[in-house]
Amino acid sequence: MRFTLPSIAMMVFTSVYSVVDGYFVSNYAGKLALAAVNMAWPVIMMLASLGMMFGAGGSALIAAAQGRGRLNRANEYFSMIVYVVIALGFVLLGATWYLLEPLMKLLGAQGDLLANSVFYGKVCLVGLPMFMMQMLFQSLFITAGKPQLGFYVTVGAGVTNMILDWLFIGMLKMDLFGAALATDIGFVIGGVIPLVYFLRPNASTLRLGRACWKPYALVKACFNGSSELLSCISSSIVSMLYNFQLLRFAGENGVAAYSVIMYVTFIFFAMFFGFCNGMAPVISYHYGAHNIDELKNLFKRCLVILGSSGVLILAVAQLTAVPLTKLFLGYDAELCEMTVYAFRVIACTFLLVGFNVFGSSLFTALNNGILSAIISTSRAIVFEAGFVLLFPLLFGLTGIWFACWGTEIAALALTVFFVIRKRKVYGYL
């Protein structure tokens, strides 16, 4: 829990960026601006997920090296991964700047919705390299043995974003530009402070230094973290599909409702992702050190924690559905009613989500990127994309909200199959 609680808090505060933007944009700029934010944000998250990929995959590689006592090698891996992510961030910033408008058009945005989506997305793109660094260091702080420090940095970035949202949007009436600017400044804090910390002499197990170019290690890190990348990318793609379908079946109101649902559910999902993110380096360490008894102990405790927390989170979500929705959409009774219904339907999947996220994270920690990628890709790309395209054809607007049920049930069946099949190979059961 010393490793997982700070990780959970980091993920929750990372989700605060979009949640606070959504609150101020909805209440001060209106539902059209809210829909525009939800159109552009999945693109930003999809790009930033490369930082998560290198963080998760690199952490598994670094932690395994530490478990074998190869501390110099671990630092070489660490430095190389950080420098690669910095360079990649600036390359993606330049490339996406010109592709954003065609992509928004492809997703069905027109008129004012298109203009607002492109404007918000381009301002957020300026902070993309630092956002990628923040996502990267969420995992690396844990591997360095400093999960609390990672928590403090993320809290600082989140609080800064909240204060600036209040100032730029609420007080100065800067609308979408203020929301994007506040988000960018939060990215800078979340990305630069860890970079400075690891560049200086520090009390952690890792420090940035001269990087030895090791292509095989970089490929291994990418491969290990591919499930986290695919999970985030596929989530962004699915969000785009939801927006596309909702524009067809419910118009801009549907996109606004989905925006609020994603803001709220992302906080709950962040708890599962944070737990699994914090647990992965611990599993990697004991797997690298061949501590099979401790590996079994960790596996069983994770299942108990995920099961009980799923029930608790579901109960909280159902009880808070109305007040949370009114916080965003209290000015529109019809839209608020539709959003509450959809949120309660989707919240039922909290009972299963934790197990599916853990299954993918488990195989990443065990350096089996293939199985991890199969689970995460099947869950988000194959199952969810398939259901969100199929169910509306059968059940109309209601089918869009119920698509997540079929997704999580199918993903759980696949996860259980692989966990049971590989239990003797890795010894966690």
State the pLDDT at residue 344. Answer: 94
Per-domain boundaries in the chain: 4-426
Report the pLDDT value the prediction gives residue 18, as an integer from 0 to 100.
63
Which pLDDT does position 16 carry in this prediction? Answer: 67
- Per-residue model confidence (pLDDT) at position 227: 67
Q: What is the mean pLDDT of residues 228-237?
A: 74
Please give the average per-residue pLDDT across 174-200, as a whole number.
90
Q: Which residue has the higher pLDDT, 236 or 44?
A: 44
Average of per-residue pLDDT across 401-421? 93
Confidence class for position 184, pLDDT limits 50, 70, 90 = very high
Among candidate residues 232, 241, 231, 273, the one with its CA nearest the CA of residue 403: 241
DSSP secondary structure, 44-101, as one string: HHHHHHHHHHHHHHHHHHHHHHHHTT-HHHHHHHHHHHHHHHHHHHHHHHHHHHHHHH
What gap in Å lies between CA 290 and CA 293, rounded to an integer?
Answer: 9
What pLDDT shows up at residue 14?
A: 64
Can you give the pLDDT at residue 279? Answer: 84
Percentage with pLDDT > 70 across the chain: 97
pLDDT attached to residue 41? 86
User: How far apart are alpha carbons 19 and 40 in whole angstroms?
Assistant: 14
Q: pLDDT tens across 345-363, in order? A: 999 999 999 999 999 888 8
Contact 93, 230 (CB under 8 A): no
Count of H-run helices and E-run strands, the chain: 17, 0
pTM, entire model: 0.73
**Which residue in 111, 257, 121 sits closest to 177, CA to CA?**
121
pLDDT in tens, 24-35: 888 888 888 888
The listed range with the strongest mean pLDDT (153-162, 275-284, 374-383, 405-414) is 405-414
pLDDT of 93 over the 90 cut? yes
Range of weakest confidence among 138-147, 337-346, 356-365? 138-147
Mean pLDDT for 166-185 is: 91
Give the per-residue pLDDT at 231. Answer: 67
Residue burial 101-126, b: 16+ Cβ < 10 Å; e: rest: bebbeebbbeeebbebbbbbbbbbbb
Instruction: Fill in the amino acid letter for 239.
Output: S
Phi, then psi, of 231 in degrees rounded to 5: -65, -45
Mean pLDDT of the chain: 86
What is the model's pLDDT at position 229? Answer: 77
Cα 193–chain centre separation: 20
Residue 331 to residue 103: CA distance in whole angstroms:
31
DSSP 212: P
pLDDT tens-place string over residues 246-283:
888 888 788 888 888 887 888 888 888 888 888 888 88
Q: Which amino acid is at 354?
A: G
Q: Does the pLDDT at position 138 exceed 70?
A: yes
pLDDT higher at 388 or 205: 388
Question: Which residues have a Cβ under 8 Å from the Cβ of 253 and sit 6 or more positions away?
Answer: 31, 334, 335, 338
Judge whether residue 124 has pLDDT over 90: yes
Nearest to 96 by CA among 54, 58, 131, 56: 131
pLDDT at 158: 81
User: 321 Cβ partners below 8 Å, 6+ apart?
Assistant: 340, 343, 344, 347
Residue pLDDT, tens place only, 364-396? 888 787 888 788 878 877 898 899 999 999 998
pLDDT-derived band at 225 (thresholds 50, 70, 90) equals confident
pLDDT for position 17: 62
Do residues 253 and 338 make contact, with C-beta atoms less than 8 angstroms apart? yes
Determine contact, residues 418/374, Cβ cutoff 8 Å. yes
Region 151-180: mean pLDDT is: 87
